[in-house]
Chains A and B, each alone.
Chain A
Amino acid sequence: MINRYKPHLLVLPEDDANRQLANGFLLHPSLSTQVQVLEVAGGWTKVLDCFRSDHVSAMATYPNRTMVLLIDFDGRQVRLEQAKTVIPDNLKDRVFVLGVWTEPEALRAILGSYEKIGRAMAEDCREETAATWGHELLRHNASEMERLRRQVRPILFQ
C-alpha cells in the first residue's frame, strides 16, 4: 500500500492499452513502490471527469500526491491544453498529462509489447535518456517530461 503521507504518484489511464503501458512502467526493477496505477477511466474525457470528481479534493487533502493523467492525444495538438483546463491552478505543479500522439496501438506496432514499451519508458526516466520518449509518437510529451523529471523522478526512483 502506498504511504499517502510520503511523496507518491497515482497514474490514471484512459484505457486498457494505457493501463498495460503503465504495467510495464511498474515492472521496472528500480521503480519505487510509491506508485499506483488506478482503474481505467474509459476515454480521455472520462479521465478529466474522473480527475475532477474524484481526485481534485483528495489532492488538496494529500499534499504529497502527484498524478499522471495518461491519455491518447489522437493526433491533436490542443489535447494537452484541453486537459490542463480541468486542473486547478493550485494543483498544476503536481499533475502531469502524458500520452501517445495517436494511440498506444500505433506505438505497439513499432516498438513491441505494451509492457516492454512501459519498461523502456521507465528506464528513460531513470537514466534521463530519451531512447523511447524521443520516439515521434511520444516526443510531444517533452515539456511535461521535463517537469516530471524535475519533480517526480525522486519519487519514482528512490
Chain B
Amino acid sequence: MVRRLYVHNFRCLENFELPVLGQSSVLLIGNNGSGKTTVGLALEILQKIARGTNRVDDLVKPKDLSRGRIDVPVRFEIEVELEAKIYEYVIAFEFPEGFKELRVLEEKLAVDRKPVYTRNGAQVHLAKAGREQEKEAKFRIDWHMVALPIVQEQSPMDPLFIFKHWLSRMLILRPIPSLIVGDSKQETLEPNLQVTDFGAWFSGLLAYAPAAYAKIDEYLKQVMPDLRDIRNPVIGKDSRSLVVQFSNDHGSLNVPFEDLSDGEKCFMICALVLASNVHYGPLLCFWDEPDNYLALPEVGHFVVALRKAFQSGGQFIATSHNPEAIRRFSDENTLVLHRKSHLEPTIIRPLNELQVSGDLVGALVRGDVEP
C-alpha cells in the first residue's frame, strides 16, 4: 500500500504530496486541468522505470519541468508498505544549462530506512545485503541512465526484486476500448496504459494463476448474466484471439472480443483487475475515469466492485467527473485537486477538510468545492 507519493517540479505538481496513507480506495476530483491525470503520469514514470526504461529522456523531458523552471530538480518519491516492510524509492532529475536532456541527480532505494543503494550523480553505492562476508560496492553509471532497472537482484526474496516487481505490476489504466481487439502473441502481467494488450494480459494471468478464471467469471456473470464463457483459442503460430460466448434459453452466440461494446470491454478489464489483485497482488490500481463508456445504471456498481475488492489488499485510486462515480465515494476518501490558474501549482485537500454544504454533486456543479 502506498504510504506517500511526493512529486516536485513535474508539470503542475510542485511540492505535491498525495495523502493516501491508510486508504484502500481514493477518488481524485477536480476541474479539467487541475492535475488528476498528472498524478497518474507521475506513477507511470515510476512504473516505466521498474519495467526497464532506464534512459532518462524516455521518462522525463525538459517540457515536463513546471513552467520551464530548469534550475529546480524534478523529484519523485514513493513510500510503499509491502509484506510489513517500508520501501522508499527516490529519484531526482536535473537539467543543467546547455544540456539537451535531463540527467539523474539523485537516486535511492531503502527498506525500513536502511539503504539498498544510494546514488549521487554517476556514483552508485550498493549497501551490504546483511551477510558479513559481503562488501559494500561502488560503481559509476551514465548520468542519463536510471540505476533501478540495472542493479542486479539476488533472488525473489531480495527487497530490490520485491519492490521492482510491485512497482512494475502497478496497474495504471486509461483504456481506449476501440483499440482493444483481444488478440495476443505473448503473455503479460503488466498491461499497458490503454490496455491494448488485453489478450496478452488475459493469457498471462491465466497462465500464472489458472484459478483466476473463477474470479473473472464470477464478476462478469454479475454484470452480463448471459455470459457463458471466454475462450482464447490458438489462431496461428503462437497467436491467440479471445472469443466470448453468450447463451440463454434460446441459444448461444460467439462474439469475437473486438466486437464487444466499449462498456463490455471495460467490464472485462474490471474483471482482470479484480482477479489480478487477488492472484498477483496486492496491487496499486490507478484508473483514470473508470466510469468512461459505462451506462448510467452500471457506474455505481462498477465503482463499488472495485472499492470492495481492494478493501482486502492493495489500493485503488480513481479519477472521475461522473456524478454517480463521485457519489460512491465518501468525504473521507475523496481528494479535491485545484489550480487557481495555469501559472499556479495543484493544491490537494481531502474533501472532509472542506466545508461543503448540501449535496456534493450539486456543489461541484455550482463550482463551490474549492480547497
A residues contacting B by CB (< 8 A) are 1-3, 15-16, 19-20, 23-24, 26-27, 29, 33, 36-37, 39-40, 42, 113-115
Cα–Cα, bound, A26→B308 (Å)? 8
List 10 interface pairs A-B (beta carbons < 8 Å), by A numbering: A3-B225, A16-B360, A19-B327, A23-B328, A26-B328, A29-B311, A29-B312, A36-B297, A37-B327, A40-B359
Minimum CB–CB distance for B277 against chain A, Å: 14
Assess the A23–B330 pair: CB atoms within 8 A: yes
B residues contacting A by CB (< 8 A) are 222-223, 225, 295, 297-298, 300-301, 304-305, 307-308, 311-312, 327-333, 356, 358-360
Q: Report how many A-B pairs have Cβ atoms within 8 Å.
A: 57
The 8 Å CB contact of B295, one of A1, A40, A114, is A1
Chain B, residue nearest A113 (CB):
B332
Q: A26-B328, A29-B308 are in contact. Are A115 and B333 (CB under 8 A)?
A: yes
Cα–Cα, bound, A39→B223 (Å)? 21
A24: which B residues are within 8 A, CB to CB? 330
Assess the A115–B330 pair: CB atoms within 8 A: yes
Cα–Cα, bound, A23→B327 (Å)? 8
Q: A1-B223, A26-B304, A27-B308 are in contact. Are A113 and B359 (CB under 8 A)?
A: no
B356: which A residues are within 8 A, CB to CB? 16
Minimum CB–CB distance for A2 against chain B, Å: 7
Assess the B304–A27 pair: CB atoms within 8 A: yes
B297: which A residues are within 8 A, CB to CB? 1-2, 36
Assess the A39–B332 pair: CB atoms within 8 A: no
Assess the B311–A36 pair: CB atoms within 8 A: no
Assess the A37–B332 pair: CB atoms within 8 A: no
Assess the B327–A27 pair: CB atoms within 8 A: no
Cα–Cα, bound, A27→B306 (Å)? 10
Q: Beyond A1-B301, A23-B327, A37-B328: 4 further Cβ-contacts under 8 Å?
A: A2-B301, A23-B330, A27-B311, A33-B222
